[in-house]
Structure 1
């Protein structure tokens, strides 16, 4: 099945202000994490932490995601462009966020917040890990709506034709003829893997289901964080085989290794190490806030 991508990246306008779907996807990710985390707080999955303290954690984590994601993308993927055009740094609605940079930003936020509340870093990380996949999933939907980070050509009679694809845009001299050319079959050879939707399914849906189920009962310290790192690293590494590398970077080695894969290898190794380390670690027992007040 072939699909022509013609989604307006602007969700709606309020006067002169344009609200982009990409920004709304991030907002939905934070809202999902907020409500899911509140349920874990009520269940006492992070003893001694109430709703107000959790609100602080979410605020710092949001800053970590946005600042770390943007800085990470600039450093890892496109430093030259931002040196030449520094104001591009602020155009987040156009995309350009790195998961690995956002992860580092959240790690810094959790470490700082955990020290303030005298909590072990990995108790905080294990609490936060199941809340992340919905945000990853919504972010990938935002990438799809923006028509960015598409995959390789499918080589068959299925996939998505992205008008933003330079190979397609060169053929479309008159935008009003786009639909007609698509329906005539002239663009079939340019159909690509919707790798953004693959990542939505794996990093968003599958990771959330697995981690939420796995964390539904107490697990040893490091275990949930380790599973998160392992799953993300494996899923990202796999999808990169059908996703085009960033144009300014290309393949780094062997004719197939991408920056996304290179950055995912440490996550896989760290995830395996944390899972191994969890076998000798203590298990944090739930303590609902009401019980903590009576203790």
Structure 2
């Protein structure tokens, strides 16, 4: 730990250090390179986040659907693969200038970091829909189970972002502001900024802590899909406002990309929830994609 006045003096041991003025993060975002493969903290925590999301999501889905009889592996494959494709595609689209000048092969270097969480979430939802069609059970029940799964997965995944500093926050003088000083950091050395991704971790854990203890009781009282949309809708609303603390460029009507995606998720939730309520109250017969187990 060191105070701001000490930054010009002797170099302190590399670590994450808390002071009365700022949190100084001096962690190398890269763990090891094995040949062409670069292992990063971002990649490690992304994988751990996927594992955590799958564990809690399928646990809740089995509580609702019963034994999945080996189908969970198929579902996991669809959601992870399509989710990763969506996450990388949206990131590449946002940052195409990085890859445009002889760096096109880096688009496939997932271990180096560079994924969009909203791209991953929307991609995973598409994968879940495909799996629901193939397995002939409720897509909306997957959304219900996926809500808390996504919250824990996002929280774990953000640990890697806190370490590497790639999501630049706005300047702050608050005592929990962070400064990245490692030579390999993706942050902005010399600037004390909001730890916006840490705020997102807190948001996800708060949503999980407030709703998950009552998940099963709420699930019994709400139409399929509504509970999951509550998770995603609250997260999206919170993420919209937290994104003001980032320096990402505006892409549409003065909004950053994450805000556009967050607003879209909120709109989807606002429209879908009353539709699901009406369908449940009318006893509308489910389609194969929204039916229970075959």
TM-score when normalising by structure 2: 0.77
After alignment, is 78-87 or 64-73 more displaced? 78-87
Once the two structures are superposed, the pairs formed by residues 1-295 of structure 1 within 5 Å of their partners are 1=20, 2-11=22-31, 18-43=38-63, 45-47=64-66, 49-75=67-93, 77-84=94-101, 85-156=103-174, 158-163=176-181, 164=185, 168=189, 190-202=191-203, 204-217=204-217, 218=220, 219-245=222-248, 250-252=249-251, 257-282=255-280
CA distance in 2, matches of 1:208, 1:145: 23
SS of the residue aligned with 2:159? helix
Q: Give the superposed CA RMSD.
A: 2.9
Q: Is the 2:143–2:229 Cα contact (8 Å) retained in structure 1? A: no
C-alpha offsets along residues 219-240 of structure 1, whole Å, 9 cap, x if unaligned? Answer: 3123123213311211111111
CA distance in 2, matches of 1:225, 1:242: 27
Structure 1, unmatched stretches of 5+, are 169-186, 285-291
CA spacing shift, 1:134–1:94, aligned 2, 3 Å: same
Aligned length: 257
CA spacing shift, 1:20–1:269, aligned 2, 3 Å: same
C-alpha offsets along residues 243-288 of structure 1, whole Å, 9 cap, x if unaligned? Answer: 121xxxx23467x63221122111111112222233334399xxxx
C-alpha offsets along residues 3-60 of structure 1, whole Å, 9 cap, x if unaligned? Answer: 11111223457798653211211221122123323432442x125x515111211121
C-alpha offsets along residues 47-105 of structure 1, whole Å, 9 cap, x if unaligned? Answer: 5x515111211121111221110011112x11233333211212223322112211221
CA spacing shift, 1:257–1:135, aligned 2, 3 Å: same
Structure 2, unmatched stretches of 5+, are 1-19, 284-291
C-alpha offsets along residues 93-127 of structure 1, whole Å, 9 cap, x if unaligned? Answer: 33221122112211221111111111232222223
Give 1:195 deviation, angstroms. Answer: 0.7
After alignment, is 27-36 or 146-155 more displaced? 27-36
